[in-house]
Amino acid sequence: MCSLCCLSKAPNLSVINKVHAAQHFFPLMSRALALAACMLSSAEAFSVVPRAPAASTATSSAFALARPRQAASAPAATARSRLEELEMVVKPLKIGIVGVTGAVGKEIIDVLGNRKFPVSELRLFASARSAGQSMKTPFGDKKVEEFSLAASRECDVVFLAVSGDFALEWVPQITANNGPLVIDNSSAFRYDKDVPLIVPEINIDAAKKSKSRLIANPNCTTAIALMALKPLHDAFGIKRAIISTYQAASGAGAEGMAELQEGSAAMANGKEAVNKVFAHRLPFNLIPHIDKFLEDGYTKEERKVTWETRKIMDLPDLPVSCTSVRIPTLRAHAESITIETERKIDMALAYKVLGNFPGLKLTDDVKNNVYPMPLTASTKYDVEVGRVRKNDVFGEYGLDLFVCGDQLLRGAALNAVIIAEEMFP
């Protein structure tokens, strides 16, 4: 039986996960085509199939909701009418990206192309300095425009990959009077109670229920950690978490990456490395300092992990302590995580829920030296999780694990694009 047929009949996968899986087997397949294939290869794919309870709350994905629920029990529709339904589901959108010359902006363009996002028009916005430049995109060569409110409001979705100050100034004006949906990568509005803060596989429902025209994309470190913590919380209940991070230069943008690359090249040639972006030289070093220090001794980066974990997981009192460290890797963050749990750990269940969670790849075969690493997680959509073991301090009620995810993808562009996919079925 072909992979797609197997997928379409998989009993405990929702359609969104079948689509995820189909795209995993056939990376160049567009999301629409993957959905069509899953739909056409089995009438069962139309039903809202209950998933393993611990795997995800993403059963109400856009595609799941977009499909007619009654189709599950209705007589099988013809292939033609299913394709017609599909065309209704995937409506091309006018997309604007602000900050296209930065590392995240460029990734958003690529992710839209790779995922065959239905784009009717792509507008690339940047500062006056970059306006007029031509950029090659999967949607053809495009000219960069200077950002303007009027032009951004002509879009259906606007991705912001710029500073928090820019977001504070412009988001209220872009979204005013039912303006475009804005997906903001900055931290400006993340802690506003009326603004959904979303990792789509975890809490897309919060965005769907919200009236807000703004959705905040989380801090990269938080998004990567939560891809593993959510299924573990559903299975065992997380009581507290301690996280130590190993964060790549890309967290400081294209300038941070350039400083690492140029500094490493300089040192390899016996010269000094210059540091302007980072507080100290990054090559052959690590720096336990990301973002500014707060009164309590934590850095703001570390507190973002605490605040955002609580909001996304809807666990307002969860104790989370984080130490954030910048290391000389280019674009994947790694994190060592210890959790204490409410319920006894069952290792088989832990592996099962981690292995089933969409967007997470169980990478844990220590006999063969397989574990998450920046080397293997970079440029990948999935977050890797491994080194999963009971924790000696918390005994039966604790786990240690190691995660690694691409900072520019799950930590920024990919997360933002999946949000848009889910919001515009």
Q: Which is nearer to ligand 2RA, 300 or 389 (CB)?
A: 300
Cβ-based nearer residue to ligand 2RA, 221 or 356: 221
Integer Cα distance of 49 and 15 in angstroms: 8
Residue nearest to ligand 2RA (CB): 251
The nearer residue to ligand 2RA, 179 or 200, going by C-beta atoms, is: 200
Q: What angle do CA 121, 425, 62 make, to 5 degrees?
A: 140
Catalytic residue among 38, 220, 322, 404: 220
Catalytic site includes residue 155: no
For ligand 2RA, which is the closer residue by CB, 181 or 252? Answer: 252
What DSSP letter does each residue of 25-70 carry, written as one string?
Answer: HSTTS-HHHHHHHHHHH-GGGGS-PPPPTTT-SGGG-HHHHHS-GG
Q: How far is the CB of 203 from ligand 2RA (least distance, A)?
A: 19
Closest to 116 measured CA to CA, from 94, 149, 138, 144: 138
Catalytic one of 20, 38, 333, 404: 333
Q: For ligand 2RA, which is the closer residue by CB, 30 or 321?
A: 321
* Beta carbon of residue 219, minimum distance to ligand 2RA (angstroms, whole number): 5
Max CA pair span of the chain: 73
Helix, strand or coil, per DSSP, at residue 156: coil
Q: Which is nearer to ligand 2RA, 16 or 220 (CB)?
A: 220
Question: Among residues 365, 277, 290, which one has the least CA distance to residue 335?
Answer: 290
Per-residue b or e along 209-230, where b marks 16 or more CB atoms closer than 10 Å to that residue's CB: eeebbbbbbbbbbbbbbbbbbb
Q: Whole-number minimum distance, CB 24 to ligand 2RA, in Å?
A: 27
* Residues near ligand 2RA, by CB under 6 A: 219-221, 247, 251-252, 290, 301
- The DSSP string of 179-223 is --EEEE-SSTTTT-TTS-B--HHHHHHHHHH---SEEEPPPHHHH
Shortest distance, CB of residue 151 to ligand 2RA, whole angstroms? 27
> Are 333 and 404 a contacting pair, CB within 8 Å?
yes
**Both tokens of residue 316?**
């307002």
Render 65-88 in DSSP notation, one character per residue: HHS-GGGGTSPPPPHHHHHHHHHH
Least distance between ligand 2RA and beta carbon 302 (Å): 10
Is 333 part of the annotated catalytic residue set? yes
Give the Cα separation of 116 and 128 in Å (integer). Answer: 29
Instruction: Report in angstroms how near the CB of residue 104 gets to ligand 2RA at its nearest.
Output: 9
Selection from 100, 127, 126 nearest residue 112 by Cα: 100
Could you give the residue numbers annotated as active site?
220, 333
